[in-house]
Amino acid sequence: MWFKKNEKSDFVATMPTHGKPASSRTSKVHGASGQQQQPAQHALTQTSTALSVIQYPAGLKLFLIMLSVLVSMFLVALDRLVIATAIPQITDHFHSVTDIGWYGSAYLLTTCAFQLLFGKFYAFFRIKHVYLVSVLLFEVGSAVCGAAPSSAVFIVGRAIAGVGGGGIFAGTIIIMVYSVPLHRRPKYHGAFEAVFSLASIVGPLLGGAFTSKVTWRWCFYINLPLGGVVLLIVAFVLQPPAQELGDTSLWQKLKQLDFAGNSVFIPSVVCLLLALQWGGVEYAWNNPRIIILLVLAVVLIISFVAIQILIPETATVPPRIMRQRSIAFASWAAFTIGGQMMIFAYFLPIYFQAIQGVSAVDSGIRTLPLVLSMMMFAGVSGQIITKIGYYTPVMLVGTCIMIVGAGLLTMLKVDSGAGHWIGFQVLYGVGMGMTFQAPNLAAQTVLRLKDVPVGTSVMFFSQTLGGATFLSVGQNVFNNELMKRLRGLPGLEEIDIKGSGVTTLTKLPTEIMGSVLEAYDQALRVVFVVGLALVFVVLIGAGGMEWKSVKWEQAAMRKTQEDAEAKVAATARVAVAAPVVDSENDEGQKRSTT
């Protein structure tokens, strides 16, 4: 019996194909039992084979695999945050204030640009090998950064680490797909989300500790021993089930990597992100450099889409995947989730440092209500989804809670007390924790196994691109709103507020400090309104996703096993009954002859 549901089963191609029905078998007495044992054994063998295909690691093996991917995910998340507190020391060491923007953007550019390509790598090559290469690239990039003799070499190291980070992001989820049954994955998604939250706490603190107590280079050297452990565990413990790679040669696999599409896609992402990084900061938005970059980005993206449609058999993102309703809406949700999350994660610390006058470390501590509530409810939502099976209603409820929290954050004022900024962050964090994992779960639930690597990469790419896009939007909104409110204030003509940084506001003259703080607060509230608008838009993605249960695989496995066992039992009954029937027929023939 074949069991197929939306063509997404891990085991559709391996369901038992039972032998011929009993009626077609011979009725000879002595031949019956032997010939009828073969179909029974065949059914048992096929059932065993089918079930073995969907056997997942357990016990210590599963623990080591998940620990290794969680550690690698933690290192990648940490690497994006630990540099924030180290940048002042790095610029002092290299005398490279003009390169500050590249220290973060080099990593972001390569992570985002190579994200979709890694989806193809995971689809056409062994997951284990691609993941090992990704971790190795991340390690090499970290080593280059730690040992960098110049700013240029440091930037190259950041770019290499970004490529590896892009592969680790997608690979972590794909390894989980091959290691954990679908109905249990929400719990592990909650663990991944908790790791991200933990990294956001530890990152700035660890960066500050290394920078002040040892050297900034240890912000990157710390990745080497932990990454080495990950390499060993993945190399010797991870044994994912056989993928549908076929018998194609290496050259045939390489031809499937969509060189034409990626040759225009990667430059398009680079052009777009450079325009977003520089626009309104390094250059005005009407500067020819920014205009050319944006035009090139649009032309190259249109070219990429055309290549995907015209050559679908080798497409990096096959059109059939993006036409799937849940994937289309989930990618939109991931894009907006990444955008609004980056706005609040980036500008809340600015509120604490600029308005409340605390240090960078203290501002990190004051964001703990958001981080801890997000960690807690990532786990809670994982348990709920595992219990009820459906992720869409959890995402809808979480988005509604997040709207309330984000709306309250737009009301933060200069004199807001701890009860306000703690409670507002908790509400926002609860909603975020319930929402964050749903797009990736959708990709794993509605797609066939061979398409999951591409679907997962699309979700991570959408989230990363959304964060990069709206961080730039938020920065420009903040700058424009702040300058508009400061313009004309008496006593500010000779003070460069925009160029002095948020930590210097306490040094302003007392008579104008109140007006400046009020201007900062109003500018930040406008930025938070942008984040709130994005949270509302998340509802479109959540509402458009199908209501699919992560328990379908479990139900399918149970049904397949029950069908196979019933078939074996029926075959056994026929094998026992057949000799009796055949003997009666033989006696009747003898009497007739006499």
CATH code assigned at 135: 1.20.1250.20
C-alpha dist (Å) from residue 428 to 187, 413, 438: 21, 17, 17
Closest CA to 188 of 589, 550, 502: 550
Within-domain flag for 494: no
Q: How many helices (H) and strands (E) does the chain have?
A: 23, 0
pTM beyond 0.85, yes or no: no
Shared domain for 67 and 177, answered yes or no, is yes
Query: Is 258:316 a contact under the CB 8 Å cutoff?
Result: yes
Q: For 496-551, where are the alpha helices, taking DSSP H only?
A: 497-500, 510-544
Is 80 part of a structural domain of the chain?
yes
Q: How far apart are CA 562 and CA 556, in angstroms?
A: 10
Residues 280, 338, single domain; the answer is no
User: Quick one: pLDDT at residue 566?
Assistant: 61
For residues 61 and 165, membership in a common domain is answered with yes
| Separation CA 167–CA 165 (nearest Å) | 5
State how far the Cα of 331 lies from the Cα of 456, in Å rounded to an integer. Answer: 10
Is residue 406 within 8 Å of 370, Cβ to Cβ? no
Q: Are residues 263 and 236 part of one domain?
A: no
Q: pLDDT for 22-31, tens place per residue? A: 334 333 333 4
Residues 355 and 414 sit within 8 Å (Cβ to Cβ): yes
Q: Would you call 387 exposed, middle or buried from its count of C-beta atoms within 10 A (0-12, 13-18, 19+)?
A: exposed
pLDDT at 80: 75
What is the pLDDT confidence band of residue 559, given thresholds at 50, 70 and 90? low
Span 162-212, pLDDT tens digits: 899 888 888 888 888 888 888 788 878 778 878 877 887 777 778 777 877
Averaged pLDDT of the chain: 77
pLDDT, mean of residues 523-551: 90
Residue that is written with structure tokens 């608008």 in the block: 533
Name which residue leads in pLDDT, 585 or 297.
297
Domain co-membership, 229 together with 266: no
Q: Cα–Cα distance between 386 and 221 in angstroms, integer?
A: 38
- Provide, rounded to the nearest whole percent, the portion of the chain with pLDDT above 70: 76
Q: Among 31-45, 213-227, 391-405, 484-498, which range has the highest average pLDDT?
A: 391-405
Task: Report the SS3 class of residue 549.
Answer: strand
Which of 271, 296, 315 is at the close of a domain?
315
- Residue 133 belongs to some domain of the structure: yes
pLDDT recorded at residue 441 = 86
Q: Confidence band (pLDDT; 50, 70, 90) for 490?
A: low
Q: Does the pLDDT at position 398 exceed 80?
A: yes
Residue 139 lies in a domain: yes
Q: How many other CB atoms sit within 10 Å of the CB of residue 421? A: 23
Residue type, 207: G
Distances (CA, A) of 470 to 115, 474, 510: 19, 6, 34
CA-wise closest residue to 99 among 31, 154, 40: 154
Locate 518 and state its tokens.
């009020």
Give the mean pLDDT of 348-359: 82
Strand, helix or coil for residue 283: strand
Q: How far is CA 174 from CA 190, 257, 451, 581, in A?
A: 15, 18, 11, 55
Q: Say whether pLDDT at 419 is over 60.
A: yes
> Which residues have a Cβ under 8 Å from the Cβ of 154 and sit 6 or more positions away?
90, 94, 103, 144, 145, 148
The percentage of residues in the chain with a pLDDT greater than 90, rounded to a whole number, is 18
Same domain membership, residue 484 and residue 346: yes
Residues forming beta bridges with residue 283, ordered by sequence position: 279
Of residues 375, 338, 339, the one with CA closest to residue 196: 375
* Residue-level pLDDT at 16: 35
Instruction: Verify that 409 and 267 share a domain, yes or no.
Output: no
Closest among 521, 531, 529 to 356, alpha carbons compared: 521
The whole-number average pLDDT for the span 548-553 is 72
Tell me the three-class secondary structure of 352-391, residue by residue.
Answer: HHHHCCCCHHHHHHHCHHHHHHHHHHHHHHHHHHHHHCEC
Does residue 19 fall inside a structural domain? no
**Residue 108 sits in the same domain as residue 232:** yes
Lowest-confidence region among 51-60, 329-338, 511-520: 51-60
Give the mean model confidence (pLDDT) for residues 255-270. Answer: 84
Is 309 found in the same domain as 378?
no
Element of type H or E holding 293: helix 288-310
Residues 147 and 277 in one domain: no
pLDDT, tens only, 90-149: 877 887 766 766 777 788 888 888 888 888 888 788 888 899 999 999 999 999 999 999
The residue with tokens 């649009």 is 298
Amino acid (1-letter code) at residue 340: Q
Q: Which of 23-32, 70-79, 241-250 has maximum average pLDDT?
A: 70-79
Place 493 in a pLDDT band, splitting at 50, 70 and 90: low
Residue 159 near residue 60 (C-beta atoms within 8 A): no
Burial 276-289 (b: 16+ CB within 10 A, else e): bbbbbeeeeeeeee
Any idea which residue has 């909104």 for tokens?
A: 477
Report the number of distinct structural domains present in the chain. 3
Query: What is the domain range of residue 71?
Result: 56-240
| Residue 211 near residue 83, CB atoms below 8 Å | no
Q: What is the pLDDT of residues 464-473, one digit of tens each?
A: 888 888 888 8
| Tokens describing residue 255 | 């031809």
Q: Could you tell me if 236 and 268 lie in one domain?
A: no
Instruction: Please give the structure tokens belonging to residue 86.
Output: 């180290």
pLDDT band at 532 (very low <50, low <70, confident <90, very high): very high
- Say whether both 281 and 344 belong to one domain: no
End residue of a domain, out of 213, 240, 267: 240
Nearest residue to 453 via CA among 268, 257, 248? 257
Domain assignment present for 457: yes
Among 269, 298, 315, residue at a domain's last position: 315
Q: Among candidates 439, 442, 422, which has minimal Cα distance to 430?
A: 422
Cα–Cα distance for residue pair 146/90, rounded to 1 Å: 11
585 inside domain? no
Does some domain include residue 283? yes
Identify the weakest region by mean pLDDT among 184-198, 259-273, 481-495.
481-495
